Amino acid sequence: MTQEVTGTAPEKLVAVPVRHYGRWVGALVVVGLFGWLVSAFGNADIHYHVTRDYLFEHVILVGVWHTIEISVLSQLLGIGLGVLAAVMRQSGNPVIGSIGWFYVWLFRGTPLLLQIILWFNLAAIFPTLSIPGVWHADTNVFITPFMAALLGLGINEGAYMAEIVRAGIGSVDNGQTEASHALGMTQGLTMRRIVLPQAMRVIIPPTGNEFINMLKSSALVNAAQYTEVFRVSQTEAGKNLELIPMLFVAAIWYLVLTSVFSVGQYYLERRFARGAQRELPATPVRRLLALIGKPPRT
């Protein structure tokens, strides 16, 4: 015997999305500020054609190349010094560890601009530089604008890279170091073959950020009379009396350089993420193809 079910059917539930009025107000404020900025720059007495005309001038391109050159070389010097200082701080020798700590403390605790100016005026402290019986040079001749810029940027960067490398080394499990020592590997071999390769996953992302910052900080070597893109733009502005358009030229090139190297940093991070993530993040190309609705090739 079956029992007849009676009663009315349950009402259909309708999900009502929560309205985020604050988001819309914030968006309107941002759009309003952006429109105000566009209007202000549009109505200002700025000769934008000067920016267009000078953007690819030979003297500007030379300045761009010098910016890339000094940034890359300084970053390489900083990485080398940073690895050395980080390993020194990990040393069991208190003297070596103290030297590594002092280096980081000194160059991280003083302004970069001050360091560049000191290197450029090193002759006031050491009129001559020499290695007894090997090398001798007049400091004014040796410390060129390029050398002052390289030493100022590179040594300062080394102090920051030392902390980044130290954090990367600390992220590797101590058990792997102990296992390598049990296999008879020396401390130096363990660091090169076991610790540093694994620490790269932690070291690479902040190193990329440091290099992007290096590109922008290279403008400070103007104090050492090094002819990077910012100094060249200022020099040309003194000739044509168009300061704001020439500053726009430098700003555009800095944006281009940081954007290009940011893409390179992304692919480098993606490469070192292999083995640590089950699924790698989509590349910018794949994201673009997904955005326009075109399936990527497999």
User: Residue 298: helix, strand or coil by DSSP?
Assistant: coil
CA 194 from centroid of its chain's CA atoms = 26
CATH no., domain 50-273: 1.10.3720.10
pLDDT, mean of residues 104-121: 94
Q: Does residue 275 carry a pLDDT above 90? A: no
Q: Are 202 and 171 in contact (CB under 8 A)?
A: yes
* Selection from 283, 276, 281 nearest residue 297 by Cα: 283
- Alpha carbon dihedral 198, 200, 202, 206, in 10-degree steps, equals 170
pLDDT grade for 149, boundaries at 50, 70 and 90? very high
Q: Are 269 and 205 in contact (CB under 8 A)?
A: yes
Token pair of 272 as six digits: 């070192």
Residue with tokens 């540093």: 196
Percent of the chain with pLDDT over 90: 45
Q: 110-120 b/e with 16+ CB inside 10 Å = b?
A: eebbebbeebb
Residues with Cβ within 8 Å of 241's Cβ and at least 6 positions away in sequence, in order, are none
Q: How far apart are CA 252 and CA 22, in angstroms?
A: 34
Q: Does residue 225 carry a pLDDT above 60? A: yes
Q: How far apart are CA 72 and CA 222, in angstroms?
A: 17
pLDDT grade for 56, boundaries at 50, 70 and 90? very high
Instruction: State pLDDT tens for residues 256-269.
Output: 999 998 888 787 77
Percent of the chain with pLDDT over 70: 88
Q: Are 155 and 73 in contact (CB under 8 A)?
A: no
Q: How far apart are CA 150 and CA 24, in angstroms?
A: 48
pLDDT, mean of residues 19-48: 86
Token pair of 15 as six digits: 């999900």
* Selection from 65, 73, 61, 63 nearest residue 211 by Cα: 73
Residue with tokens 């200082």: 85
Residues with Cβ within 8 Å of 148's Cβ and at least 6 positions away in sequence, in order, are 116, 119, 120, 122, 221, 224, 226
Give the model's pLDDT for residue 117: 94
Q: Does residue 148 carry a pLDDT above 70? A: yes
CA 64 from centroid of its chain's CA atoms = 17
Token pair of 2 as six digits: 């079956």
Give the model's pLDDT for residue 8: 66
pLDDT, mean of residues 209-220: 92
Give the model's pLDDT for residue 90: 81
Q: How far apart are CA 245 and CA 60, in angstroms?
A: 13
Q: How far apart are CA 22 and CA 50, in angstroms?
A: 42
Q: How far apart are CA 67 and CA 61, in angstroms?
A: 10
Residues with Cβ within 8 Å of 104's Cβ and at least 6 positions away in sequence, in order, are 85, 89, 159, 162, 163
